[in-house]
Amino acid sequence: MTNSVAPAKVDLAAKFALFSDQWAPRLAARYNGNEVRLAKVEGEFHWHHHTDTDELFLVIEGELEMEFRDRTEHLNQGDMIVVPRGVEHRPCARNGEAKLLVMDADGTPNTGDEATAFKPVAV
Q: What confidence category does residue 27 fall into, taking pLDDT thresholds of 50, 70 and 90?
A: very high
Tell me which of 7 and 60 has the higher pLDDT.
60
Say yes or no to pLDDT of 3 above 80: no
Q: What confidence category does residue 1 fall into, taking pLDDT thresholds of 50, 70 and 90?
A: low
Q: Is 8 part of a structural domain of the chain?
A: no
* Domain range enclosing 54: 20-122
Q: What confidence category does residue 32 fall into, taking pLDDT thresholds of 50, 70 and 90?
A: very high
What is the C-alpha to C-alpha distance for residues 102 and 77, in angstroms, rounded to an integer?
14
Average pLDDT over residues 95-118: 84
Q: Is 12 part of a structural domain of the chain?
A: no
3-state secondary structure of 13: helix
Tell me the CATH number at 72: 2.60.120.10
What is the C-alpha to C-alpha distance for residues 109 and 111, in angstroms, rounded to an integer?
5
Q: Is 24 part of a structural domain of the chain?
A: yes
Least confident of 6-20, 31-45, 107-121: 107-121
What is the C-alpha to C-alpha distance for residues 67 and 9, in angstroms, rounded to an integer?
33
Q: How many domains does the chain have?
A: 1
What is the pTM (predicted TM-score) of this model? 0.90
- Predicted pLDDT at 65: 98
What is the C-alpha to C-alpha distance for residues 114 and 61, in angstroms, rounded to an integer?
28
Q: Is 104 part of a structural domain of the chain?
A: yes
